[in-house]
Structure 1
Amino acid sequence: MSKLNIDQQTVRELFENKKSDFLIPDYQRPYAWSEEECGTLWDDIFLFAFPNENCDDFDENNDEYFLGPIVTFKNNSDKLEIIDGQQRLTTLMILLRAFYSRFENIKDNRTKKILEDIAKCIWKTDEFGTPNKNKLKINSEVATDDDKEEFLHILKEGSVNNSHKSKYATVFRFFQNKIDIFVKEYPTYTPYLPVRILNNCILLPIEAESQDTALRIFSTLNDRGKPLSDTDIFKAQLYKFYSLRDEKEVFIDRWKKLEEICDDIFRVSSGSPMDELFTRYMYYERAKQGNKNTTTEALRKFYEKDKYALLKKEETLNNLESLANFWNDVENQNENVFSQRILKKLFVLHYAPNSMWTYLVSVYFLHYKDKDCMLNEDNFYLFLDKITAYILGYAFVNPGVNALRTPAYPEMIKIVNNLPVDFSKNKIEKNRLRKIIEDYSFTNVKPITKSILAWWMYYKKEQDLINLETRFEIEHIYAKKRQEVESSSIDKKKLDAIGNKAFLEKYVNIRAADYRFSDKKRYYRGFTSNNGKEKKGTQNKELLDLADITLDFNENNIDDRTNVIITNFIKYLDENNLFE
């Protein structure tokens, strides 16, 4: 069981402690507080220190104001690396420095004592308790913070000039202004505010025995801020590697560009967009190791092996950049990089029932890319065609979220060994697949419904490429509303048959009242309304063809279309040699 040192302390007790030697590590994010957050902190502390704006209503022995936890661990240099609490700790240091600068030239004994106490919180002291103003109690190594030196300058010198534009300088000026106003409005209260901050504002320092434990605690405690992601840790390791090569500034620039790309193209529910890039790269490295274990280890556990040895290779960052640029081209449908037929396959895969395709494609790209990071057009097309057919077919016979790992991992290993991807060890039983599809209920909530509709839309080569950002809804060609209004005897199950569904752009927005197919055709084609406003039609070529050649769409049409889709889907897998 992990050991924790937890001891509620006042600001003075925590900061004055000789063992308090704080480090904001390189993997942390830059300081982010603005005047708004600092204003809230100032107002809260003022109301706490002077209840009812009355200095005498304060109980110095019992009143406490909780500022929050500070989660740290002691690193190999005996520094307390800050995992949680960086923002409030930094802000408190700036606030104390603003007080020190304001009272520095006041000579009365009471103020002198306050200055001595503040000094012991900001600077390290010798064995006699004398502060050494060349040694701060906090340091910052944040790799992506260009202004960290300005923070340290403010703490050392207690001043800013017009050239200082950082958030640190803004906050310092803010507190200077607040203190000046406070001194003018409440001159007799002046010494009480810093004293009550030092003695009655409470922090909860939690010192963990390791970085892992500290990060777990942070994730548990923090329900407000953005928790550290795995790639914050990876950034620190890469930063150290490139610093040793005297390429620190170059690395920071490369990393920022990577972050910008990932922020644009990856949508994640937890962690950071960069985590997704490292995940996709992990599968390439796993494949090179011959690892087909279906229990995928945690991202950080994978990269931290052998003291993050993988992140200390020059090729790693190069590969990450190539991979990010590749996916950027995919997401932006870059026709200077990919042909139309490739982009159509990638469009279909975007609607795959799970994300395994992105890992397969990432491994393929990293292994087969040439010196210009391009892929052979024909080979890549055949690869995409094969995995599209298999992923969609396998989703019917093994629909579990993680089921695709079993056949996919061996194929990744084949890729890096220049072997053809054929799923030879995990082929699909043809008759079983057809029976499952024929009995399948293609409800709108099932991911495979959209997968098949996307595949079918592009099955005909005449279908033009559609922008990936287009929002589609599932259209019931024979409207549910029509079944209700006409009291149709149509089997309700057939309303959810794949033959009654198609992709339709959200902007087409057919009104529920337009339940007749003859009315729908007008929306499919697009039209100009009575007030002269143009209503754009669909880009789905099949719906446009239906509008041109079909007078009505009824139960027989549903049956015929269902049979055509299923038959061609089985044929598609057969052509890719995926059946036993």
Structure 2
Amino acid sequence: MKLEAEIKNIKKILVDDENFFQIPDYQRPYSWDKENISDLIDDIITAFLRNDGEHYFCGSLVLVNNQTDQRYDIIDGQQRITTFTIIACVFRELYGNVIGKKPHKYIANSIQDEYEESKRKLKFLTNEKYQIDFEETVLKKIDFIDTKNIEKSFPDNRYLQNAHFVKEFLEERIESNKVNIEDFIIWFYENIVLTTIICPSQDSAIQIFNVLNDRGMPLSSIDILKSTLMSKLPSKEDRKAFKVKWESINSNLSFSNLEIDSMLNTYLYYKITSNPKNRLDKELIEVFAKEGKSSLQIIKEVSDFSDSFIEMSNQEDKYVYCLRYLRHKIYWNSILTTALFEKYSEIQKLRELMVAYYYQNWIAGATVARIKQTSFNVLKLVKNNAGIEQIENEFKSNLDKYSTTKTFKESIESNTVYGRKWDRAVLLLIEYFSTDEDKNSFIPLGPKLHLEHILPKTLTPSWKETFTSDEIQRWTDSIGNLTLLSLRKNVQAKNNNFEEKKNAYRDKDNVSTSYVITQQVLEESQWNVASLQRRKERLLNKVYNKTFIFS
């Protein structure tokens, strides 16, 4: 099997080479969302600002030459290439009139072949089911609109959604960092690179794809770190002692269903209290060199930190449970593990502040770029054993800067809570703090946990007699109408009238629902607007009690 593999930048892939690309019809649809876009924009702007001459590596691109269509089928790398093409189109719309010939040419030729203008031969075709939408709303021209809810404005067009997100995040990061847009566009094309692998057949491409995704690659950064540290030990006995300790760390983590790479990344954040610029092994080896510690001293500290990491992960604490639902685990995880490792005296108040801060940001729709620097600042304060008032001020300053609390309140009090990424997590926060028990069991966000509409989405005649159409629209997806059920109870409740629903919640199969917030619904004799208003107020008070704690 002959393979062609080369590291290529975006300019080489989309601009220079006379190559054209397409998504084969068997591939899944384009699926990147707001968080993926935010992470990518944040990472590439950060890499550009470092100005260290390093390329920004962005994964692999596995291709097969489709002779019939005279295009390369993309077997792996669809999400990245699609997003890079969207970014190019946003560059064109935002900056086409203010940049010079060089970046302008890069942009134009990464969208459409300059020698095929009469045929309008596009460099990249997406899944044929969505190609017309992609072409008409993004590739040809993007008509940006001012909207607070991008997903709702374009529910069936992920490409146009993400074009709006790219615009939002680009403008925010470019303005706040005073980025020279012409330099950045040139850097974008010349310094973002992918490992491009051209395979002779679909079978070989899929085989390569599986190998890459099963981590069947050469030494990982963790292997390199271990090898480097061991090589610095002079004697066989010391190397053996190091290896035994390393294996003990691995074993203890595995026993708690934790992974060493997650622990070491958390440890790296603890050591540098900033965003890593290089691979984990490079960053840590550089830190260790500055500290001048021996490998045995290093492995002892890593082992102690790993113990704190395991302790934090196994804590039976309501606040920690709530934090576990957050997507960007590395930030809160690093702060709390550091607090345990450094024996921070105000750790319980710290947990409370973190739930309030991160949940306000999550519900307000803030991206990781907004919370990242504040998280590092707090991590540094905890590491230096700063007072809890200083940490509270750090969180509050960030919330005030972006008016996060105002947006948070608007979101959670709106009539469209259902369907948000945080809907079940917020109800679980309320559930945890609806009892006085110090210790609860963690409730995972799995398929067995269902969000129940008390006033159902599909209405029977009895419900229509109780609610007007305006009331149905206002209340159905609001927080007051939502509760938690197990899969079994959800099936039993169906779209029945309120009395039948209560029977399902209470004693169907002689088993009552385990959720306190659902048991409280049983206290209502009927379900109407007054009931909804009372419940909404009660649930919001619970949320605000845990999130409005900044003085």
Q: TM-score, normalised by structure 2?
A: 0.52
- After superposition, the CA RMSD in angstroms is 3.9
Tell me which amino acid in the other structure corresponds to 2:238. E
Distance, in Å, in 1 between the alignment partners of 2:461 and 2:416 is 23
Q: Classify 1:328/1:501 alpha carbon distance in 2 versus 1 (closer, same or farther; 3 Å).
A: farther
Q: How does 1:141-156 map to 2 (within 5 A)?
A: none
Q: How does 1:79-228 map to 2 (within 5 A)?
A: 222-223=211-212, 226-227=216-217, 228=219
2:304 to 317, 322, 336: 322
SS at match of 1:246: helix
Distance, in Å, in 2 between the alignment partners of 1:219 and 1:506 is 39
SS at match of 2:307: helix
Offset of 1:494 from its aligned partner?
2.5
Distance, in Å, in 2 between the alignment partners of 1:299 and 1:515 is 55
2:449 to 460, 473, 476: 473
Q: Classify 1:330/1:504 alpha carbon distance in 2 versus 1 (closer, same or farther; 3 Å).
A: farther
Offset of 1:264 from its aligned partner?
5.1
Offset of 1:469 from its aligned partner?
5.8
1:18-67 Cα deviation digits (max 9, x unpaired): xxxxxxxxxxxxxxxxxxxxxxxxxxxxxxxxxxxxxxxxxxxxxxxxxx
SS at match of 1:504: strand
2:384 to 408, 417, 426: 417
1:562 aligns with 2:544: no
Aligned to 1:171: none
Aligned to 2:265: 279
1:477-536 Cα deviation digits (max 9, x unpaired): 41535525656334235222122223334454533536333333344345546xxxxx4x
- Whether the aligned pair in 2 keeps the contact of 1:499 and 1:561 (CA below 8 Å) is yes
Q: Classify 1:475/1:216 alpha carbon distance in 2 versus 1 (closer, same or farther; 3 Å).
A: same
Tell me which amino acid in the other structure corresponds to 1:437. I
- Whether the aligned pair in 2 keeps the contact of 1:283 and 1:359 (CA below 8 Å) is yes
Distance, in Å, in 1 between the alignment partners of 2:476 and 2:455 is 8
Tell me which amino acid in the other structure corresponds to 2:451. E
Tell me which amino acid in the other structure corresponds to 1:575. I
Distance, in Å, in 1 between the alignment partners of 2:534 and 2:228 is 59
Aligned to 1:426: 398
Q: Classify 1:425/1:317 alpha carbon distance in 2 versus 1 (closer, same or farther; 3 Å).
A: farther
Aligned to 2:410: 435
Offset of 1:358 from its aligned partner?
1.1
1:230 aligns with 2:221: yes
Offset of 1:285 from its aligned partner?
0.6
Tell me which amino acid in the other structure corresponds to 2:398. N
Q: Classify 1:307/1:313 alpha carbon distance in 2 versus 1 (closer, same or farther; 3 Å).
A: closer
- Whether the aligned pair in 2 keeps the contact of 1:353 and 1:451 (CA below 8 Å) is no
Distance, in Å, in 2 between the alignment partners of 1:503 and 1:437 is 17
Q: Classify 1:438/1:528 alpha carbon distance in 2 versus 1 (closer, same or farther; 3 Å).
A: closer
Tell me which amino acid in the other structure corresponds to 1:250. A
Tell me which amino acid in the other structure corresponds to 1:255. W
- Whether the aligned pair in 1 keeps the contact of 2:513 and 2:519 (CA below 8 Å) is yes
SS at match of 2:370: coil
SS at match of 1:480: coil
Aligned to 2:326: 352
Q: Classify 1:507/1:567 alpha carbon distance in 2 versus 1 (closer, same or farther; 3 Å).
A: same
- Whether the aligned pair in 2 keeps the contact of 1:477 and 1:502 (CA below 8 Å) is yes
Tell me which amino acid in the other structure corresponds to 1:462. D
- Whether the aligned pair in 2 keeps the contact of 1:434 and 1:566 (CA below 8 Å) is no
Aligned to 1:455: 429
- Whether the aligned pair in 1 keeps the contact of 2:356 and 2:549 (CA below 8 Å) is no
1:451-493 Cα deviation digits (max 9, x unpaired): 3222211233435744326545242241535525656334235
Distance, in Å, in 1 between the alignment partners of 2:415 and 2:348 is 29
- Whether the aligned pair in 2 keeps the contact of 1:397 and 1:433 (CA below 8 Å) is yes
Q: Of Structure 1 and Structure 2, which has the larger fraction of its residues in helix? A: 2
Aligned sequence identity (%) = 15
Distance, in Å, in 2 between the alignment partners of 1:295 and 1:381 is 28
Distance, in Å, in 2 between the alignment partners of 1:555 and 1:237 is 66
Distance, in Å, in 1 between the alignment partners of 2:478 and 2:515 is 19
Q: TM-score, normalised by structure 1?
A: 0.50
Distance, in Å, in 2 between the alignment partners of 1:261 and 1:554 is 53
SS at match of 1:491: helix
- Whether the aligned pair in 1 keeps the contact of 2:492 and 2:504 (CA below 8 Å) is no
Distance, in Å, in 2 between the alignment partners of 1:259 and 1:219 is 29
Distance, in Å, in 2 between the alignment partners of 1:244 and 1:216 is 43
Gaps of 5+ in 2: 7-192, 198-206
Aligned to 1:394: 361
Distance, in Å, in 1 between the alignment partners of 2:356 and 2:489 is 30
SS at match of 2:422: helix
SS at match of 1:390: helix
Distance, in Å, in 1 between the alignment partners of 2:363 and 2:229 is 42
Offset of 1:368 from its aligned partner?
1.9
Aligned to 2:248: 257
Distance, in Å, in 2 between the alignment partners of 1:315 and 1:449 is 46
Distance, in Å, in 2 between the alignment partners of 1:393 and 1:5 is 46
2:472 to 491, 512, 518: 491
Distance, in Å, in 1 between the alignment partners of 2:276 and 2:457 is 46
Q: Classify 1:564/1:304 alpha carbon distance in 2 versus 1 (closer, same or farther; 3 Å).
A: same
Aligned to 1:41: none
Offset of 1:236 from its aligned partner?
1.4
Distance, in Å, in 2 between the alignment partners of 1:437 and 1:487 is 25
Q: Classify 1:216/1:464 alpha carbon distance in 2 versus 1 (closer, same or farther; 3 Å).
A: farther
